[in-house]
Amino acid sequence: MMEIHTEPVTGYTVLACAGRLTMQYASRLREAVDAAVGSGTPNVVVDLSGTSFVDSSGLGALVAGLRVARTAGGDLRIAAPTEQVSSVLSLTNLDRVLTPHPSVEEAARGW
């Protein structure tokens, strides 16, 4: 149902979530962020271009990831959210914290 593809780039890590980021799979994203941060690069871009759906648990995982990254001195940014994901983000005002970037490259600008 959901696949997370981890791709380390110089200076940051890209986590591409393909599928539905929901209750059942939220913990996977948390683990993936933990792993990325733990491996030494606290900067993480979550690529949401393949994420068709997110629910409140999925949002929770993104924010939890943000906290982990920030605590480690880095940041978590999101890129290319799909329509449903964008509307959930704006409905919850979370887009003010997790600003959607149009692409992974733009999200990682400055790293």
Partner 1 sequence: MRAPLTRVLGTLTVLLGTIYVGWRWTLSVYWEHWWIAVPLALAETYALVDGYLFTLTVWRMKQRGRAPEPDPETTVDVFITTYNEPVEMVVETARAAKAITYPHETWVLDDGDRPEMAAAAAELGVGYVTRNPDWRDKPRHAKAGNLNNALFVTEGELILILDADQVPDPAILERTVGWFRDPEVALVQTPQWFTNVTDSDPLGSQAPLFYGPIQQGKDGWNAAFFCGSNAVLRRDALMQLGIVGYVEEVEVAVADALRAADRILARAARDAAREAPRAADALRSLRGAAEEARGRLASGAAVGEVTYAFQGAVDAASREVVDDDLAAIRRDLEAVASLPMHVDGKAGELVLDDLALDRLSDRDWSPLGAVESVRDLVRAVDVDRPDEAMPVMPMATISVTEDMATCMRLHSLGWRSVYHHEVLAHGLAPEDLGTMLGQRLRWAQGTLQVLLRENPLTRRGLTVGQRLMYFATMWSYLSGFAAVVFLVAPVVYLCFGVLPVHAYGLTFVILFTPYVVVNQLLFYVVGYGVKTWRGHQYSLALFPLWIRACVTAGANVFLRRPLGFVVTPKTRTEGGGFPVRLVLPQLVATVVLVVASVVGVVRLWTGAADSVIGTGVNLVWVLYDIVVISVIFQAALYRAPTPEKESTA
Residues that bind partner 1 (CB under 8 A): 20, 22-28, 53, 55-57, 59-60, 63-64, 66-67, 70-71, 73, 75, 88, 91-94, 96-97
CA gap 61, 94 in Å, rounded: 13
Token representation of residue 86: 């964008």
Helix/strand/coil for 49: coil
CA gap 37, 15 in Å, rounded: 11
Helix/strand/coil for 73: coil
11, amino acid identity:
G
> Which residue, 35 or 97, is less far from partner 1 as judged by CB?
97
CA gap 105, 102 in Å, rounded: 9
